[in-house]
Amino acid sequence: MSIVSISAQTLNDAQIRQRVNQAAAAMKTMQCDFVQTKHLKMLNDDIVAHGKMYYQQSSKLRWEYTIPYAYVFVLNGDKVLLKNKQRNDVIDVNQNKMFREIARVMMSSVVGNCLLDDKTFKTTIATTNGEWIATLVPQRKDMRQMFQKIVLHFNQQRAVVNCVEMVEKSGDKTVINLKNIRTNETINAAIFSVH
Amino acid sequence: MLRYFLCINLLMYVITAHAQVTFPSNEGERARYSAYIEMSRGYVSGVCILVNDEGIIKGCIFNEFGITALDFSYDPRRQKIHLYSVITMMDKWYIRRVLKKDLAQLMRCLQRSETSYQNVRRNISYLFTPIADEVTQ
């Protein structure tokens, strides 16, 4: 085990990208719990939310908050379902630029293949104990308006993302820790239903 | 038996009521809300946090994914809102003007424990439902 770890640490950027890409291609499904901590710089306060995430290759994602608020975001192909206490909405991502971007960033961050998206992000990769840390700096204007940077933490053994940090222009930061990650298990199709 | 359940229910109600501060009137108090703002062309939902900092209410509204939409403060004595930052896509002078007026009205409603406000002229409704504090920490 330690030999694998040492050899993983010596990988260069290109090899890390390749490993992540291979892992993303092999990941047919993924499901996990997540803990999202939003740090508010102005108020010096944190708010923590919990939820569940489901992914199915190549364009299905369910991001569901359960505590302290109920909110569901389901991406299925070109359609996005937004569900809260008040209402359900189905949006065509092709007709809504903002949701197209949100959906693309969420999906590619969770899977990790945004490392290969040179047009959207300038990426640097660092290696620490058991982790690859990829820092993604948005290159496009619309993304720069929202994020200063996005930091992805990859588990070296599995080459999958286990933490996403989103740092906003204001300095506010949202950290999403993915827990109990299970890959390539069958997920009920109803999970991704947008109706 | 019925009396026993009624007592439990009453106790639960009292505990829940204590957990939800509807407005941070005292120094250091915090209140958290599930925020829902509906306009004729769509809606914004997310979370609002209010903190009483030396008599001034500092607030932040962000969407469920954590993207900050607004940072503001409210002076209860002058009943004025100051907007510190507004997300780029909403950062237009005419939106700021409406937001300042509406947030001031909304803060006054929350002070009276009313969780909604409607700007009838512009057809915008604000619904801020308190989130239990202990669950979020």
DSSP string covering B5-45: HHHHHHHHHHHHHHH--SS--STT-EEEEEEEEEETTEEEE
- SS3 label, residue B92: coil
Of B60, B65, B67, the CB nearest to A40: B60
Task: Please give the C-alpha separations between residue A15 and each of A7, A22, A53, A98, B71, in angstroms, as whole numbers.
Answer: 11, 10, 28, 32, 42
Tell me if ipTM is over 0.85: no
Cβ A93 vs Cβ A99: under 8 Å: yes
Q: What angle do CA B92, A98, A83 make, to 5 degrees?
A: 110
CB contacts < 8 Å between A and B, how many?
82
Q: How far, in Å, CA of A68 to CA of B94, rounded?
A: 33
A-contacting residues in B 7-36 (Cβ below 8 Å): 30, 32, 34, 36
Mean pLDDT of B118-136: 84
Q: Enumerate domains of chain A plus CATH numbers.
A: 2-192 (2.50.20.10)
Q: How far, in Å, CA of B49 to CA of A49, rounded?
A: 14
Chain-chain contact of A68 with B36 (C-beta, under 8 angstroms): no
The 10s digit of each residue's pLDDT in B49-105 is 999 999 999 999 999 989 899 999 999 999 999 999 998 888 999 999 999 999 999
**B2 contacts: CB under 8 Å, gap ≥ 6:** none
Domain boundaries, chain B: 21-132
Cβ B79 vs Cβ B56: under 8 Å: no
Of A36, A68, A145, the CB nearest to B66: A36
Chain-chain contact of B60 with A166 (C-beta, under 8 angstroms): no
The predicted pLDDT at position B42 comes to: 82
Write down the number of H helices and E strands in chain A.
4, 11
Task: List chain A pLDDT tens, one digit each, 195 residues.
Answer: 444 444 445 688 888 988 888 998 999 999 999 999 999 988 988 999 999 999 999 889 999 999 999 999 999 998 999 998 888 999 888 877 777 777 778 788 888 778 878 888 999 999 988 899 999 999 988 888 888 999 999 999 888 999 999 999 888 999 999 999 999 999 999 999 998
Identify the DSSP state of A85: S
- List, in sequence order, every residue forming a beta bridge with A29; answer none if it has no partner: A56
Among chain A residues, CA nearest to B28: A43
Q: What angle do CA B12, B13, B19 make, to 5 degrees?
A: 90
A86 min Cα distance to partner chain B (Å) = 8
Q: What angle do CA B133, B135, B137 make, to 5 degrees?
A: 75
Identify the DSSP state of A28: S
Query: How many residues in total does chain A contain?
Result: 195
pTM exceeding 0.90: no
| Helix, strand, coil percent content, chain A, rounded in steps of 5 | 25, 50, 25
Give the torsion sign (CA, B95, B97, B103, B109): negative
